[in-house]
């Protein structure tokens, strides 16, 4: 049984994914790895979460999602507005081009093994906290 309240030492992941089944799978992977997960289905919803949740440690975002901006633009805006938050961008359709990724962010191609996803999240969290540029 999952706890109803957040355990203080768990890092908080903001998961931005519009596909419900993909999001559900990723939530299960992240919870199994002892992350606390907050979900958003698009960038607009994710920005609202970021504005109200100062405990977000890292953002995991897909590239292709509904709304006015894609995951690359969302990642750049997160880095500008919340430089202390780690950023991991994922996609099964497209990779980053020049200038798509903000500093200290990482990109992974789908499909992603659960252990690789967890390792990449931890890596971007460490890179953001340490101020060192990293790529997964």
Query: Per-residue confidence of the chain (136 residues) as pLDDT tens digits?
Result: 455 555 567 999 999 999 999 999 999 999 999 999 999 999 999 999 999 999 999 999 999 999 889 999 999 999 999 999 999 999 999 999 999 999 889 999 999 999 999 999 999 998 877 543 334 4
What residue has token string 């906290």?
129
| Structural domain harbouring 126 | 12-130
Question: What is the tally of structural domains in the chain?
Answer: 1
Angle 19-98-61 from CA coordinates, rounded to 5°: 20
Residue 135 lies in a domain: no
Residue 7 lies in a domain: no
Residue 69 lies in a domain: yes
Q: What is the pLDDT of residue 134?
A: 38
CB 43 within 8 A of CB 64: no
CATH number of the domain residue 40 falls in: 3.40.50.2300
Classify residue 3: in a domain, yes or no: no
Is the residue at 87 inside a domain? yes
> HEC string of the chain?
CCCCCCCCCCCEEEEECCCHHHHHHHHHHHHHCCCEEEEECCHHHHHHHHHHCCCEEEEEEECCCCCCCCHHHHHHHHHHHCCCCEEEEEECCCCCCCCCCCCCEEEEECCCCHHHHHHHHHHHHHHHHHCCCCCC
Within a domain: residue 75? yes
Domain assignment present for residue 1? The answer is: no
In a domain, 5, yes or no: no
């Amino acid at each position: 049984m999952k706890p109803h309240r957040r355990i203080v030492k768990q890092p908080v992941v903001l998961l931005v994914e519009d596909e419900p089944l993909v999001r559900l799978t990723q939530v299960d992977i992240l919870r199994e790895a002892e992350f606390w997960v907050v979900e958003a289905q698009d960038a607009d919803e994710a920005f609202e979460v970021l504005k109200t949740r100062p405990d977000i440690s890292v953002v995991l975002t897909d590239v292709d999602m509904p709304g006015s901006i894609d995951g690359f633009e969302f990642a750049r805006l997160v880095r500008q507005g919340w430089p202390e938050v780690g950023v991991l961008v994922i996609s099964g359709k497209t990779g980053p081009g020049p200038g798509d990724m903000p500093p200290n962010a990482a990109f992974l191609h789908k499909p992603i093994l659960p252990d690789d996803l967890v390792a990449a999240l931890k890596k971007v969290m460490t890179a953001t906290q340490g101020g060192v540029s990293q790529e997964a």
